[in-house]
Amino acid sequence: MNQDILVVGASGSIGHALVNQALLHLPAQARLVRMARQPQRLPSLNTPHQVIDLAMDFSDPAHIPELFEQAYQAWSQAAGLAQPAEHLAQVWLATGLLHDATMQPEKRYQSLNATAMQRAFAVNSIGPSLLLSQLIDRLPRRIALKIGVLSARVGSISDNRMGGWYSYRASKAALNMLLKTFAIELARTHPQLTLMGMQPGTTRSDLSAPFSRHVADSDLQSPEFTAAHLYQVLASCQPSDSGKLIDFMGEFFEP
């Protein structure tokens, strides 16, 4: 029976909150699998469930297949299963890059920088799609699995009214297209799988911190609030919804 949960990006604010949500819903014998760039720094969890921590880094997409194979072997050994992916009921990809010490969102076209754009696409679109490719390749075709991938409304081309944030917008728009394309193929090969692009809203996190000072406290969500709503929304989605974009309140929006 597939009942395990995988959270990729478990070290982030929303990723950690999704881990806590998973622990609230895991069946007694289920496993929780966490992936992060530095799994050794993930906080310990007070839970009777088996927790398996694995390394994954989207910063260099060329190495993702190799990294995933290494992680998969470690996962298999820790779980005592030949094909641990077959036991998954839910997967979360809670990764994303908007800024760091060396890059900021571009407010003007003059700020476009090839290195920053490449990093944004590597983490926000290429990395998630390559990991999905590796994971799905190990799944049975009749598995009933739900996958939630954190995207962003600013990646919606039809909803872009303010401009700016070139690399982040474009990389999330690319992610949305990749998810749609995955969903079309998976409807033929894995008809019980549900793959959703999910908008988490404005959540207190390292990603949003520099840009939330003008956001009213009433509009700024805690990671726990966001994770609880995302969890409920994904639970309500069906294979016929695959490839669509949906926000944390359960409203679909256009790409």
Domain ranges of the chain: 4-253
Report pLDDT for 129. 98
Does the structure show a pLDDT above 70 at 214? no
pLDDT band at 203 (very low <50, low <70, confident <90, very high): confident
- pLDDT tens digits for range 125-153: 999 999 999 999 999 999 999 999 999 99
Q: Give pLDDT tens digits for 166-179.
A: 999 999 999 999 99
Angle, vertex CA 59, rays to CA 159 and CA 50, nearest 5: 95
Average pLDDT over residues 199-222: 70
Q: Is the entire prediction scored with pTM above 0.75?
A: yes
- pLDDT of 215 reads 59
Average pLDDT over residues 202-209: 69
Separation between Cα atoms, residue 38 and residue 47, nearest integer Å: 21
Q: How confident is the model at residue 220 (pLDDT cuts 50, 70, 90)?
A: confident
pLDDT at 209: 57
pLDDT for the residue numbered 252: 95
pLDDT tens by residue, 27-56: 999 999 999 999 999 999 999 999 999 999
> What CATH number is given for 4-253 in this structure?
3.40.50.720
For residues 217 and 221, give the distance between their C-alpha atoms in angstroms, rounded to a whole number. 8
| Percent of the residues in the chain that have a pLDDT greater than 70, as a whole number | 94
Question: 207: pLDDT confidence band, cut at 50, 70 and 90?
Answer: low
pLDDT tops 70 at residue 16: yes
Residue with tokens 């076209």: 109
